[in-house]
Amino acid sequence: MDKNRFNCEVRPILTTIRIGTQGIAFDRLDLDAWHIDKKVFGCRICESTGTSDLEEAQTYLARRLEETRQAEIYGVRPKRLFKEAAIKFLKENQHKCSLPDDAGHLKRLDPFIGNLSLEAIHMGSLQPFIEARREEVSMRTINHGLVVVRRILNLASSEWMDEHGKTWWEHAPKIKLLPEPDLRKPYPLSWEEQHRLFNELPPHLRNMALFAVNTGCRDMEICRLRWEWETKLPEMPEIMVFIVPARFVKNGEDHLIVCNDIARSVVEAQRGVHPDHVFVYKGKPIHHMLHSAWRKARKRANLAVRVHDLKHTFGRRLRAAGVGFEDRQDLLGHRSGRITTHYSSPELQNLYQAANKVCGERPSGVVLSFLTLGPANLPQGVLGGV
């Protein structure tokens, strides 16, 4: 009987069965592992051994019993693998919008340190990982992985408590981040460069990029943008805003997106294409803008530009247009002590006018008119801002 059928037909009618005095029995719930349920020194050990081999399960039980005895009598902390700590970290941080990135870093770290005990994790034991990744990615990417390791070790030594009232580890080692001589500086696009790049992008990416360069939104916010986040303003119908929930924003705060005229036209062209998501490709949501189509387009345009540079472009143009620091913070969604999604009508009108200052100008200085064409037929003049 497979697990799904067991769960549907058998589990509902099961009664509690006492596990023998040995404290180990085959796990009826997992169907593939021996399970421990034993009380030692007043502490209950109730967990899966993770193996279907009885001899291995008995060895696992003996180790856990000895760890419990050492902890209760001598105050010795049980040895815990980094893999255990990584799993706990991922389970406790399901709310983080960056969780998929953290999980990716931990997956790459696992072959190097996953089976090491926490006390064996330090800069020396991390060197094989660093050397292997150095040949593939930038120092900044390696540092992202080291930051996750450092965070887990700090939690294990300060917040995570076991059943004996002790932290998982006594002292976290210092995990030093690597120098980043290859760190790439922000690259705001000129209007001419924007025109070159956007002309090489496929229509669905072009619309997303045009929205990004006119709102300052991050890749993830654009890919996940949903119609339900649009907030109607009956007293100001000319203003379109979205409120991105905090769990989808990097800084953990709600992000108010104020669309200028170009961004609004891009959104209106997408209305009705998908019932939930604003931006889709072949009827399905897009997970990342930075993929092969983007890389090929920037290569053809002879530009080493990242998706995040569109946010930098928006910020630089706001500053060049004379938009004040606080308004730039609000429009870019930067964390600040006063940031809020509760704005008065005059404040929203002010942000809308500020955002419209980066729509580009004709030679006469007249602000660009609204876009009214479909997503596949946006005029080159608007894409280039001239």
pLDDT digits (tens, 9 = 90+) for 319-372: 999 999 999 998 988 866 554 556 778 888 999 999 999 987 433 333 333 333
Place of tokens 């801002």: 385
State residue 272 phi and psi, 5-degree precision.
90, -10
Strand-pairing partners, residue 241, are: 231, 258
Which residues, 6 or more positions from 149, have their beta carbon under 8 angstroms from its beta carbon? 109, 113, 121, 126, 175
- Is the same domain home to 31 and 104? no
- Whether 173 is in a domain gets the answer no
Output phi, psi for 117, to 5 deg.
-70, 160
Q: Is residue 263 part of a domain?
A: yes
Residues 65 and 135 in one domain: no
CA–CA gap between residue 5 and residue 353 (Å, rounded): 60
Asked whether residue 109 falls in the same domain as residue 50, the answer is no
Structural domain includes residue 256: yes
Amino acid, single-letter form, for residue 82: F
pLDDT surpasses 70 at 314: yes
Kindly state whether residues 234 and 367 are assigned to the same domain.
yes
What is the residue whose two structure tokens read 């509690």?
Answer: 16
Does residue 226 sit in the same domain as residue 106? no
Distance between CA 129 and CA 145 in Å, rounded? 10
Neighbouring C-beta atoms of residue 358, cutoff 10 Å: 25
Residue 64 phi, psi (nearest 5): -65, -35
Choose one of 74, 107, 127: the last residue of a domain: 74
Q: Work out how many domains the chain is built from and give that number.
A: 3
Asked if 49 and 34 touch (Cβ cutoff 8 Å), the reply is: yes
Weakest mean pLDDT among 25-29, 105-109, 303-307, 323-327: 25-29
Q: Is there a single domain that holds both residue 226 and residue 312?
A: yes
Is residue 375's pLDDT more than 70?
A: no
C-alpha–C-alpha distance, residues 255 and 334, integer Å: 9
Contact 264, 368 (CB under 8 A): no
Q: Does the residue 28 lie in any domain?
A: yes
Q: Is the pLDDT higher at 189 or at 344? A: 189
30 and 132 belong to one structural domain: no
Whether 321 and 232 map to the same domain: the answer is yes
For residues 363 and 38, the model is more confident at 38
CATH number at residue 263: 1.10.443.10
Domain identity same for 344 and 233: yes
Q: What is the pLDDT of residues 262-300, one digit of tens each?
A: 999 999 999 999 999 999 999 999 988 988 999 999 999
User: Does one domain contain both 231 and 365?
Assistant: yes
Q: Domain for residue 170, yes or no?
A: no
Residue 114 falls within a domain, yes or no?
Answer: yes
Whether residue 172 lies inside any domain: the answer is: no
Asked if residue 340 belongs to a domain, the reply is: yes
User: 221 or 40, which is more confident?
Assistant: 221
**Lowest mean pLDDT: which of 169-173, 229-233, 303-307?**
169-173
Same domain flag for 108 and 142: yes
CB atoms within 10 A of CB 210: 24
Domain that holds residue 57: 3-74
The CATH number of the domain holding residue 112 is: 1.10.150
Sheet architecture: strand order including 24-26? 24-26, 34-40, 43-48
* pLDDT score of 251: 73
Q: Which of 26, 53, 74 is the last residue of a domain?
A: 74
Last residue of a domain, one of 74, 95, 118: 74
For the entire predicted model, the pTM comes to 0.63
Do 256 and 112 lie in one domain? The reply is: no
Q: What is the pLDDT of residues 149-179, one digit of tens each?
A: 999 999 999 999 877 678 888 888 999 999 9
